[in-house]
C-alpha cells in the first residue's frame, strides 16, 4: 500500500495560473460583499456611501450635473475596490503557498498501534492525540508527535525547506517530529500530540491564508479610533446642511457624501488589513509559525531579549582558535602532531582542529585505514592515532600529563601561563604529545558568531537590552559576554533563574522575549511576552511558546523582533499620513461647498481650484488613488533604522506627518488641472 506522497518544500513556487494581480483583482470584486467588508468599518462606510450616491445619480439634484455625480460615484466605488485589492494582494502571496501545502499528505495512511501491540492501517486524518504510530524509511510522518522509540534521519524539507536530514530519537531535546516530514533511514515509533486541524502544517496553512488571523490588540484599538473619527465626521457632515439652510443656502447631498468620505481616514482604513497580513507573511517567509498575532505585535515592543549563549551567540561547538608550542618545539612540529592526533576525531572539536591546521600547515596525511584510531573515552580523556610506529595523542591537560608520566610542575612556565590564560578567557586548553614528548597546547574556543556584536549594537539603538543566558561559570560567561557585546549576562542559569529574571523585567513594565528548546525552558517561554521555541525541541517547549521556528535557528528571534517593529512602525506611519491627509482635503472641499453661501470662505481656497465641482471631484479622485500608491509600502513595510522610540517618532512625523500634509495639496491641485483640461469638471 502506498504510505506516502512526495513532500513539497516550504519554498515551493506558486502553481501556474493567473498572475497574482489578476487573482487579486477578481477578489477585490468578491470582497464587495457587505458580509466581508463589515470587518473593515471604514471601507464599509465608504461602500454604503457609494450605494447612496449611486441612487442619487438617478435623482435630479439642483446645482449638480449628472456627469459630475456619476464621476464621484465611480471614484467612490474605485476607493472600495482599491482597498479590497490591497488586502487581496497581501492574501494572495500566501495562498499560493497554502495551496501547495494543502496537497501534502492528503491521502496519507498511517500504521497505528492497537491495544494488543499490533498495527493497523488507518487514514492519517483519523489520528488523534495519544495515538502511537510506526513510521519506516521512505514514509511520511502522519502528524506532529514525540518519538517514544527508535532513532532515524528525518528530511524536514516539506516544512522548513532545508534539504539536509536531521536526527530524531526518543528522549532528550530532539524527540519532537513534525507531520508530513519524511523518514530517510531506520524507523520511529511516534506518539501523536495534536488532533486534526491543530498540527504545525495546519497552523502554517491558516497563517499564510489569513483565514484565521485574529486582529491584534493594536489593530483593535486602531479600529476603535477610526470608528470614533468616522462617527465624529458623520455628525459634523450631518450638521452642515442645517447651518447652510439657516444662512439661506442649500448643500447638495452628493457633495455632503463626498465630504464625509474624504474626511474620514480612508487611507489607513483601506490599508490596515493589508499591513497586518503582509506582516504575518513576512513572518511566514522567515519560517516562523505564530500562534497569535499578539506575539508578533509584542515583538515590536520588546524591551529585553533573553538569548541562550550556545547556538545563538556562539556556534555551540568549541573550535580551534590558536596553538602554543612548548619550548624547543617548532610551530610545524606542533601543527603536524596535532593534525595527526585529530585525524580520526569526528567530533566537532576534532574536525575544527583539522580544518584549522590544514589551512595553516598543509602536509601529506596518511589514509584513515592505514592508522590505528584511539577514540576518546571518559576514562582516558585522550584521543589520537598509532601510525607507522609513532604514537600521537591529544586531550585534557591532566590526562596528557598523566599519559606522559608528568605533573603540572613539569610544564614549561610559558606554556603553563598560556594554559591558565586560556581557561580564564573561557576557553578549553588541550595538550598534544607525540612519541612521549610534549609538543604544546591547543586553544579551543566557543566562537562568537560573526556579525552578532553589530546586531546587538543595532538592537541597543532601538532601545532593546540583550541578556545572555548560559550555564557557564561567571568568569567564562563574562568573557564571552564582553566579546559578544551583550548588555547583561545570567551565568550558571537554571530554570528558576530565567523565570525570576523575566518576572523582574516585567514587574518594571517591560516586555520580554526569549527563545528555548528544552523542557527546562518551558516555564520561562510561557512567562515571556514573546516566547520562541525551536521546532526540533521538546513538545513542552513548543506548547509553552507563542512562536515556533521551523528552522530551529535561535538567532531568528532577532529577525522576529525586526518584523514586529516594522509592522508597528508601518501601521503608525500610514495612520499618521492618513490623518494628515484630511487637513488638505478639508481645505479643498469645505471652501468649495460654502463658496456661494459664505463668500468669505473663498480665502481658504489656497490651492486655487477651478470650481466647486472640480475641487470635490479632485479630492475624491486623490482619495482613491493614494491607496493604490501606498499599496507597495503597506506590503513591503516601512524599513526601520537603528534608533530609539523617540527618534523613530520624530522621523515618522517628519516624513509621513509632514508628507501627509503636503502631498495632498500637490496631488489635488494636479488632478484639478487635469480634470479641468479634459473638461471632466
Residues of the chain with CATH 2.70.150.10: 107-206
Per-residue pLDDT, averaged over 496-509, amounts to 89
Using CA atoms, how far apart are residues 342 and 652, in angstroms rounded to an integer?
Answer: 57
- Residue 395, strand partner residues: 382, 431
Is 468 a residue whose pLDDT tops 70? yes
Is 60 a residue whose pLDDT tops 50? yes
In the prediction, which pLDDT does 140 show? 85
Q: Are strands 151-155 and 166-169 parallel, antiparallel or unpaired?
A: antiparallel
User: Residue 65 annotated as binding?
Assistant: no
User: Residue 381 annotated as binding?
Assistant: yes
Between 385 and 150, the more confident residue is 385
pLDDT digits (tens, 9 = 90+) for 553-596: 777 888 888 888 888 888 888 999 998 888 778 777 778 777 77
Between 95 and 252, the more confident residue is 252
CB-CB contact of 154 with 166 (8 Å): yes
CB-CB contact of 415 with 441 (8 Å): yes
- Whether the predicted model's global pTM rises above the 0.75 cut: no
For residue 134, give Cα distances in angstroms to 8, 21, 99, 195, 495.
22, 45, 28, 17, 34
User: Residue 203 annotated as binding?
Assistant: no
Q: Which three cell numbers stand for residue 596?
A: 456661494
In the prediction, which pLDDT does 445 show? 82
- Neighbouring C-beta atoms of residue 463, cutoff 10 Å: 16
Quickly list DSSP for 405-462. Answer: T--GGGS-HHHHHHHHHHHHTT-EEEEEEETTEEEEEEEEE-PBPTTHHHHHHHHHHT
Per-residue pLDDT, averaged over 59-74, amounts to 84
In the prediction, which pLDDT does 100 show? 53
Evaluate the CA torsion angle 502, 504, 507, 508 in order and state its sign.
negative
Is 104 a residue whose pLDDT tops 60? no
| Element of type H or E holding 490 | strand 488-490
Active site residues: 308
Nearest by Cα to 440 from 349, 515, 335: 335
Is 11 a residue whose pLDDT tops 50? no
Residues of the chain with CATH 3.40.50.1000: 301-311+448-549
Tell me, rounded to whole angstroms, the distance of Cα 585 from its chain centroid.
37
CA atoms within 13 A on the CB side of 242: 5
Fold of domain 107-206:
2.70.150
Matching CATH number, 319-445, of 3.40.47.10, 3.50.50.60, 3.30.300.30, 3.40.1110.10:
3.40.1110.10
User: Residue 536 annotated as binding?
Assistant: no
pLDDT digits (tens, 9 = 90+) for 418-453: 998 887 777 789 999 999 999 999 998 877 888 888
User: Residue 170 annotated as binding?
Assistant: no
In the prediction, which pLDDT does 629 show? 92
The CATH code of the domain at 301-311+448-549 is 3.40.50.1000
Between 347 and 188, the more confident residue is 188
Is 484 a residue whose pLDDT tops 60? yes
User: Residue 345 annotated as binding?
Assistant: yes
Using CA atoms, how far apart are residues 275 and 358, in angstroms rounded to an integer?
Answer: 51
Give the strand order in the sheet containing 437-445: 319-325, 437-445, 428-434, 390-396, 382-387, 372-374
Is 101 a residue whose pLDDT tops 70? no
- Residue 191, strand partner residues: 132, 146
Q: Which three cell numbers stand for residue 619?
A: 479630492
User: Residue 377 annotated as binding?
Assistant: yes
Of the listed ranges 156-160, 231-235, 475-479, 543-547, the one predicted with least confidence: 156-160
Is 129 a residue whose pLDDT tops 90? no
The backbone torsions φ and ψ at residue 449, rounded to the nearest 5 degrees and listed phi first, read -65, 140
For residue 22, give Cα distances in angstroms to 26, 84, 320, 563, 633.
6, 13, 56, 28, 20
Q: Which three cell numbers stand for residue 239?
A: 450638521
pLDDT digits (tens, 9 = 90+) for 329-351: 999 999 999 999 999 888 778 88
Write the CB contacts of 152 (distance below 8 Å, at least 6 apart in sequence).
Answer: 135, 137, 167, 168, 169, 183, 184, 185, 186, 187, 188
User: Residue 379 annotated as binding?
Assistant: yes
Between 467 and 313, the more confident residue is 467
Is 291 a residue whose pLDDT tops 90? no
Helix (H, G, I), strand (E, B) or coil at 17: coil
Nearest by Cα to 9 from 205, 202, 160, 179: 160
Average pLDDT, the chain: 82
Residue 158: band (very low, low, confident or very high) from pLDDT cuts 50, 70, 90 = low
pLDDT digits (tens, 9 = 90+) for 616-659: 888 899 999 999 999 998 888 887 766 666 777 778 788 888 88
Using CA atoms, how far apart are residues 76 and 47, in angstroms rounded to an integer?
Answer: 8
User: Residue 380 annotated as binding?
Assistant: yes
Amino acid at each position: 500500500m502506498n504510505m506516502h506522497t512526495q513532500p513539497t518544500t516550504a519554498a515551493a513556487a506558486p502553481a501556474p495560473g493567473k498572475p497574482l494581480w489578476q487573482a487579486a483583482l477578481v477578489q477585490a470584486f468578491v470582497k464587495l460583499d457587505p458580509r466581508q467588508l463589515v470587518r473593515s468599518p471604514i471601507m464599509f462606510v465608504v461602500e454604503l456611501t457609494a450605494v447612496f450616491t449611486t441612487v442619487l445619480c438617478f435623482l435630479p439634484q439642483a446645482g449638480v450635473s449628472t456627469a459630475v455625480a456619476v464621476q464621484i460615484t465611480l471614484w467612490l466605488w474605485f476607493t472600495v475596490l482599491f482597498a479590497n485589492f490591497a488586502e487581496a494582494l497581501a492574501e494572495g502571496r500566501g495562498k499560493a503557498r497554502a495551496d501547495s501545502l494543502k496537497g501534502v499528505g492528503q491521502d496519507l495512511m498511517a500504521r497505528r498501534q492497537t491495544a494488543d501491540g499490533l498495527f493497523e492501517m488507518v487514514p492519517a486524518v483519523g489520528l488523534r492525540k495519544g495515538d502511537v504510530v510506526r513510521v519506516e524509511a521512505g514514509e511520511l510522518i502522519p502528524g506532529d508527535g514525540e518519538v517514544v522509540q527508535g532513532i532515524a534521519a528525518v528530511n524536514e524539507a516539506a516544512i522548513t525547506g532545508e534539504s539536509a536530514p536531521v536526527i530524531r530519537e526518543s528522549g532528550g531535546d530532539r524527540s519532537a517530529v513534525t507531520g508530513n516530514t519524511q523518514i530517510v533511514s531506520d524507523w520511529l515509533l511516534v506518539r501523536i500530540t495534536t488532533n486534526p486541524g491543530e498540527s504545525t502544517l495546519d497552523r502554517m496553512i491558516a497563517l499564510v491564508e489569513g483565514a484565521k488571523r485574529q486582529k491584534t490588540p493594536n489593530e483593535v484599538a486602531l479600529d476603535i479610533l477610526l470608528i470614533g473619527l468616522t462617527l465624529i465626521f458623520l455628525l459634523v457632515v450631518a450638521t452642515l446642511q442645517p447651518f447652510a439652510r439657516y444662512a439661506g443656502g442649500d448643500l447638495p447631498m452628493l457633495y455632503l457624501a463626498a465630504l464625509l468620505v474624504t474626511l474620514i481616514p480612508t487611507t489607513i482604513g483601506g490599508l490596515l488589513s493589508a499591513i497586518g497580513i503582509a506582516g504575518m507573511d513576512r513572518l511566514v517567509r522567515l519560517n516562523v509559525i505564530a500562534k497569535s498575532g499578539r506575539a508578533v505585535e509584542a515583538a515590536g515592543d520588546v524591551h529585553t531579549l533573553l538569548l541562550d549563549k550556545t547556538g545563538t551567540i556562539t556556534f555551540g561547538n568549541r573550535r580551534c582558535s590558536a596553538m602554543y608550542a612548548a619550548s624547543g618545539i617548532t610551530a610545524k612540529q606542533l601543527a603536524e602532531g596535532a593534525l595527526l592526533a585529530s585525524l580520526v576525531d569526528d567530533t566537532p572539536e576534532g574536525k575544527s582542529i583539522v580544518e584549522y591546521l590544514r589551512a595553516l600547515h598543509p602536509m601529506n596525511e596518511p589514509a584513515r585505514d592505514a592508522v590505528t584510531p584511539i577514540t576518546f573515552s571518559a576514562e582516558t580523556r585522550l584521543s589520537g592515532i598509532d601510525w607507522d610506529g609513532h604514537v600521537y595523542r591529544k586531550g585534557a591537560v591532566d590526562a596528557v600529563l598523566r599519559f606522559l608520566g608528568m605533573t603540572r610542575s613539569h610544564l614549561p612556565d610559558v606554556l603553563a601561563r598560556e594554559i591558565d590564560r586560556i581557561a580564564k578567557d573561557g576557553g578549553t586548553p588541550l595538550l598534544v604529545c607525540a612519541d612521549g614528548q610534549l609538543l604544546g597546547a591547543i586553544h579551543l574556543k566557543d566562537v562568537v558568531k560573526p556579525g552578532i556584536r553589530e546586531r546587538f549594537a543595532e538592537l541597543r539603538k532601538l532601545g532593546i537590552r540583550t541578556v545572555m543566558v548560559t550555564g557557564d561559570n561567571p568568569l567564562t560567561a563574562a568573557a564571552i559576554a564582553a566579546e559578544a557585546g551583550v548588555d547583561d549576562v545570567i551565568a550558571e542559569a537554571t530554570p528558576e533563574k530565567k523565570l525570576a529574571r523575566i518576572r523582574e523585567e516585567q514587574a518594571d513594565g517591560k516586555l520580554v522575549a526569549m527563545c528555548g528548546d528544552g523542557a527546562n525552558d518551558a516555564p520561562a517561554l510561557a512567562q515571556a511576552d514573546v516566547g520562541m521555541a525551536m521546532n526540533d525541541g521538546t513538545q513542552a517547549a513548543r506548547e509553552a511558546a507563542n512562536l515556533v521556528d521551523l528552522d530551529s535557528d535561535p538567532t531568528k528571534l532577532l529577525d522576529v523582533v525586526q518584523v514586529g517593529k516594522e509592522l508597528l512602525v508601518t501601521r503608525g506611519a500610514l495612520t499618521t499620513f492618513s490623518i494628515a491627509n484630511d487637513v488638505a482635503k478639508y481645505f479643498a472641499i469645505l471652501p468649495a461647498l460654502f463658496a456661494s453661501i459664505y463668500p468669505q470662505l473663498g480665502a481658504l481656497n489656497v490651492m486655487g481650484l477651478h470650481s466647486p465641482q472640480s475641487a470635490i471631484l479632485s479630492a475624491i479622485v486623490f482619495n482613491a488613488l493614494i491607496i493604490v500608491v501606498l499599496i507597495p509600502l503597506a506590503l513591503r513595510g516601512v524599513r526601520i533604522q537603528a534608533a530609539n522610540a523617540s527618534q523613530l517618532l520624530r522621523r515618522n512625523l517628519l516624513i509621513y506627518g509632514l508628507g501627509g500634509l503636503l502631498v495632498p495639496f500637490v496631488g489635488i491641485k494636479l488632478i484639478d488641472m487635469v480634470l479641468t483640461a479634459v473638461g471632466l469638471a
